[in-house]
Structure 1
Amino acid sequence: MATRLLLLADTHLPKRAKDLPDEVWAAVDEADVVVHAGDWVDVDTLDALEARSARLLAVYGNNDHGVLRERLPLVAHSEIEGMRFAVVHETGDAKGREARCSAEYPDADVLVFGHSHIPWDTTTASGLRLLNPGSPTDRRRQPFCTYMTAVADAGTLRDVRLHELPPRTPARRR
């Protein structure tokens, strides 16, 4: 049975936006597993995703403190459909990222990370898939706010898709 994944990072709520975009909430409702690679900033978003998602795999980021660090790990690991996932917020500089992550996460098939707000999808020489979904609320120097979806199915990751969000309109907290 295939597992639908939603990949998020760097939501920075309520600093960058009041809430996640409606499209992201719809993706939460469709996903079997929501992966969040840190920089939540507020506990309300964590509570909302825990309440609304079937399963949450998440870590804290460098902007997360207090309760967020008490409730979330620095690194998370999970096996999903025969694939070994690791989640972390920061992976360091883009230069040398593939080799560094392959060495640091030798037992992972997929590493989801955040921090840069820059979408990233590469596969290292060792076969580790590196995915950064960007940010659904703070595009920084990117042309769009983004998130990713994918499907884990019988030991393979397929249908990895980067979603570009339209310019924000104010949304209400869920």
Structure 2
Amino acid sequence: MIVVCSDTHSRTGHELSEHMLKAVREADLVVHAGDFTTTAALSAFRAESDRLFAVHGNADDAEVREHLPSARTFDVGGVTTALTHRQHGGATALAMFGRSRGASLVVSGHTHRPSVTHADDVTLLNPGSHADPRGSRPGYAELVPGDNVVRGRLLDPGGTVVDSFEVRRGGDAGDS
């Protein structure tokens, strides 16, 4: 299982709820779409998961930016996944970013709003913010890789499933 989160915006730690902390500790991979804010928050995540794929966000301090790239691409169950904090231009720019990296799934943050958007051949996932929702509901995502498919769920930090989705290699997507 893969835990996906973003927009922690902490000066001191990971700000994970009890349920999320357990999920992070048990996850095969933790993906963070930026805005830890400080190295203390980044270090807190690293202390809970030795397999953290992360990018920096616009609110991260200079030290966090030195340690993390602005984008990265990786494989999840045969599905190419692109990770960034944001792209100016919204969903269209995120879809173009994903296509430029050969990705069927794009993970981003920034808006603090949990969402899944199917943009033709690319699925856009924003897990929301587990710690600083700014008027949106708090959230994170869990992904379960299969054979050329990823099944995903958007959850609240307490573990209640809010939405489910599926992404297949090559961009075929669907709601579960």
| TM-score w.r.t. length of structure 1 | 0.82
How much identity, in percent, do the aligned residues show? 34
Please give the per-residue CA displacement for 1:82-119, whole angstroms capped at 9, x wherever unaligned: 1111110013354xx1x332322211111100000011
Partner of 1:10: 7
CA distance in 2, matches of 1:93, 1:119: 18
Give 1:77-96 correspondences, 5 Å limit. Answer: 77-94=73-90
Please give the per-residue CA displacement for 1:130-171, whole angstroms capped at 9, x wherever unaligned: 1000001112111x311111111111011x1111235xxxxx
Partner of 1:162: 154
Give secondary structure in 2 for the equivalent of 1:165.
Answer: coil
Please give the per-residue CA displacement for 1:13-59, whole angstroms capped at 9, x wherever unaligned: 138x8832222111101211100000001212222222321411110
Whose RCO is larger (CA < 8 A, sep 6+)?
Answer: 1
Partner of 1:122: 117
Give secondary structure in 2 for the equivalent of 1:23.
Answer: helix
| TM-score w.r.t. length of structure 2 | 0.81
Q: Give aligned pairs, total.
A: 156
- Structure 1 residue runs of 4+, over 3 Å off? none
RMSD over aligned CA atoms reads 1.8
Q: Which letter maps to 2:2? A: L
State yes or no: 1:68 paired with 2:64. Answer: yes
Q: Which letter maps to 2:133? A: R
Give secondary structure in 2 for the equivalent of 1:38.
Answer: coil
1:100 corresponds to which of 80, 93, 103:
93
